[in-house]
Amino acid sequence: MKKKKIDFEAEFWDSYRKHTCLSLIDAFFEMDYLSAVKDRLFDIINYSTKCEVLMKDDPSLVFHFYLCMRSFIRASYLLQLKAKKWKLNDPPEYTSRLLQGSLSNEEYDNPFLVFQNAFKEFTLKEFEYFNTQIVYFSLGAYSDEPEANIITLFIHLNKMLDAAQIIRERGFEKIKK
């Protein structure tokens, strides 16, 4: 039985390099800081419920963000599938609540739980639909609002961003069988 490969579709925003899920996440955060990504996501969510257009002067930035987030969501999905094969390095002795972001203590200790919980509650297709929907509604002055439960998906996506950053910072090693 062949394994399904997920295409991250990162060619448009990160050249034509082949990526693993972690190299894609690295490329994603090298492009923008976590705080900038979260700010842009918040703006998109906010404008998707208003009758205003986000970034009227340069909407291509919103489309670029959409492509990056689509790749990030796909890498996150693959990351939760491989979580049992990897062990995260121990957290530092002193942990600040600021470093924890939106994660609980348990999620901070094992950030892979964030991805597993998110994809247990919602499918990859639902996350991709959410991403498409919020960008669509933020780029137009519509009186309609997104139909999906965008708040829960937004919270999960926010937590996935925090968890991915923690995985990058702490590093990991493969579990030997």
* Dist. CA 27–CA 8, nearest whole Å: 12
Using one digit for the tens of pLDDT, what is the confidence trace for 20-53?
A: 888 889 989 988 899 999 999 999 999 888 888 8
| pLDDT given for residue 1 in this prediction | 45
| pLDDT given for residue 149 in this prediction | 80
Q: Phi then psi for 65, rounded to 5 degrees? A: -60, -40
| pLDDT given for residue 154 in this prediction | 95
- pLDDT above 70 for 2: no
Mean pLDDT of all residues in 113-135: 95
Percent of the chain scoring above 90 in pLDDT: 46
